[in-house]
Structure 1
Amino acid sequence: ILYRARNQIERFFSKLKHFRAVATRYDKRDDNFLASVQLASIRIWLRAYESVT
């Protein structure tokens, strides 16, 4: 079970690094960077669940 959870987390971060602003830390301020990560996470989540419905 632990391996499966770790694998999911590693795959998520791999997908997150496809967003250039996140991978290069384009936003230097912490709050802007957190917002970029949140937006990218929402896009990943929406992309994963749009094919389910």
Structure 2
Amino acid sequence: LLADKAFDADWLVEELTERGSKVVIPLRNNRKLQREHDKMMYCWRHLIENFFCKLKEFKKIAMRAEKTDQSFAANIYLAAAVLKLR
């Protein structure tokens, strides 16, 4: 799970660890107990978040204007291809 500091809660980290997930959440500054997180993997969160922001530039995707899941997925693929070509 890649998340920002707002999701740094002990109960959430424990729950996800029990389920076998790798938790990559940086610690809030006011924490007394410190734990490690993978800083390189956390950098990917920024790239993924920026990509979704760019996808939302396409009105049909932001408004979820399609009636079926299949046509919505097709629009996401098309928008991703257009973004890749830019």
Percentage of identical aligned residues: 43
1:16-35 → structure 2 map (5 Å cutoff): 16-35=55-74
Q: Tell me: higher relative CO, structure 1 or 2? Use CA pairs within 8 A at least 6 residues apart.
A: 1
- Judging by fraction of residues, say which structure has more helix: 1
- The runs of at least 4 aligned residues of structure 1 exceeding 4 Å deviation read none
Consecutive unaligned residues of structure 1, counting only runs of 5 or more, are: 48-53
CA drift of 1:3 comes to 2.0
Q: Give the partner amino acid of 1:31.
A: Q
d(CA) in 1 for partners of 2:85, 2:72:
20
Other-structure match for 1:9: 48
Give aligned pairs, total. 47
Aligned with 1:12: secondary structure? helix
Aligned with 1:9: secondary structure? helix
Q: Give the partner amino acid of 1:13.
A: F
Consecutive unaligned residues of structure 2, counting only runs of 5 or more, are: 1-39
d(CA) in 1 for partners of 2:44, 2:70:
27
Other-structure match for 2:9: none
